[in-house]
Amino acid sequence: MSSKNLVICDPDSEYAARLAVYFSGKRELAFQVKTCSCPQQIQPILEKGTIDFLMLAEEFYEPYPDEVVKTSGKLILLSSEKREICADSCPSVFKYQPAENIFTELLQICAKEKQEDILKIRKDKEGRIIGFYSPVRRLGQTAMALEMSRELSKKENVLYLNLETYAGIDGYFPDETQKNLSVLLYYLKQETRNLGLILAGLICQYEGVDYIPPVQIPDDLKEISADEWIWLFEEILTGSIYDVLILDIGESIQGIVKILNVCDEIYMPVSDDRSAASKIRQFERMLLQSGSSETAERVVRCDFRRTAAGKNYEKARSIKGNRR
The answer, yes or no, to whether residue 162 has pLDDT greater than 80, is: yes
Q: How far apart are CA 46 and CA 104, in angstroms?
A: 26
Q: Contacts by 273-277 with C-beta closer than 8 Å and gap 24+?
A: 276/136, 276/139
Q: Which of 1-10, 119-128, 295-304, 314-323 has the lowest mean pLDDT?
A: 314-323
Kindly list the distances between the CA atom of residue 203 and the CA atoms of 17, 181, 211, 213, in Å, as whole numbers in the listed order: 22, 10, 6, 8
HSE-CB of 209 using CA atoms within 13 angstroms: 24
Is pLDDT above 80 for 308? no
Mean pLDDT of 243-266: 93
pLDDT, position 238: 85
Q: Is the pLDDT score of 322 beyond 70?
A: no
**More confident call, 87 vs 140:** 140
Taking residues 262-281, report their average pLDDT.
89
Q: Per-residue pLDDT averaged across 45-69, rounded?
A: 79
- The whole-model pTM stands at 0.74
Q: pLDDT grade, residue 312 (50/70/90)?
A: very low
| 100-118 per-position pLDDT tens digit | 888 888 887 877 766 656 6
Q: What are phi and psi of 31, to 5 degrees?
A: -120, 140
Tell me whether strands 299-302 and 265-269 are parallel, antiparallel or unpaired.
parallel
Q: What are the structural domains of the chain? A: 4-118 (3.40.50.10850), 128-316 (3.40.50.300)
Q: What is the mean pLDDT of residues 244-262?
A: 93
Read off the DSSP letter of residue 217.
S
pLDDT tens digit string along 179-214? 889 989 988 888 776 777 788 888 888 888 999 999
How does DSSP assign 145-193, residue by residue?
HHHHHHHHHTTS-EEEEEE-SS--BTTTB---SSSSHHHHHHHHHTT-S
Please determine, for residue 286, whether its predicted confidence score (pLDDT) is greater than 50.
yes
